[in-house]
Structure 1
Amino acid sequence: MNRAALAEMLNEQTTACEPAKAALLVGGDFVIWDGTVPGQRLARIYAVRHRRARKRGTETLALSATVDILTQCGTAPLRIGCIFTRDRTWAFMLFLAKDASVVLACTGVRRVDP
């Protein structure tokens, strides 16, 4: 997948999409990993990460909304990707359809030690 195609898929799925798209368009690194994970499994993982982030005071964007979207995906297989800001202070996790044709959700996490 190329940068332009990924940028076109980042719309208004969550409030993290706009800053993720901006990071991508100014040259942030990105990756879409091979393989899939069921949406419900990802929902559980990211619900734990959300609780941990709140407990530690880590700044996040749209993490709660992303968990809700992942929960709604049920057992559907999802691809995972990530966009990093150029300075590596933010990581935006992407959750895509199995064929990587659409971004379903996006969340951002400020990295403590980039």
Structure 2
Amino acid sequence: MKRERLERLLVDSGEASVAALAALRRGGPYVVWDGATSAESLARAYGRRLLHTRRRGIETTDLERAVELLGRHQQPVRLGQVRTADGSWTFMLFLTHDGSRLIACTGVRRTQV
């Protein structure tokens, strides 16, 4: 997927997508993978991540919202990722299977190693 198209999908879709869009516009790396997976399985997996990040005090943005939206979505989901140029944040993008619409976006602050 071209960067410009992804930028259009991220406009006006919540706090995480605004931050992902800013990262993308500042030259952050991105990928949109081929294929799709079940929204239900993603909702379960990211629900576990939500609990994990809360227990560990890891900063996230829109993770709870993403879990909720994935739980309501009935179609397969295509995944994408945007990272800030400095690697401090990673944003996961959940797109419709054909990549035409953003379902949800969430971000997690990466811990320093």
Q: With structure 1 as the length reference, what TM-score do the two structures score? A: 0.95
Q: Which residue of 2 aligns with 1:37?
A: 37
- Runs of 4 or more, structure 1, over 3 Å off, are none
Q: Secondary structure at the match of 1:96?
A: strand
- How far apart, in 2, do the equivalents of 1:19 and 1:67 lie? 18
Q: Which residue of 1 aligns with 2:19?
A: 19
Q: Which residue of 2 aligns with 1:77?
A: 76
Q: Is the 8 A contact 1:16 1:92 kept in 2?
A: yes
Q: Which residue of 2 aligns with 1:51?
A: 51
Bigger drift between 18-27 and 7-16 goes to 7-16
The offset of 1:86, in angstroms, is 0.1
- How far apart, in 1, do the equivalents of 2:85 and 2:66 lie? 23
Alignment size in residue pairs:
113
Q: Which residue of 2 aligns with 1:99?
A: 98
Aligned alpha-carbon RMSD (Å) = 1.0
Q: Is the 8 A contact 1:14 1:107 kept in 2?
A: no
- How far apart, in 2, do the equivalents of 1:68 and 1:61 lie? 13
Q: Secondary structure at the match of 1:58?
A: coil
Q: Which residue of 2 aligns with 1:63?
A: 63
Bigger drift between 103-112 and 12-21 goes to 12-21
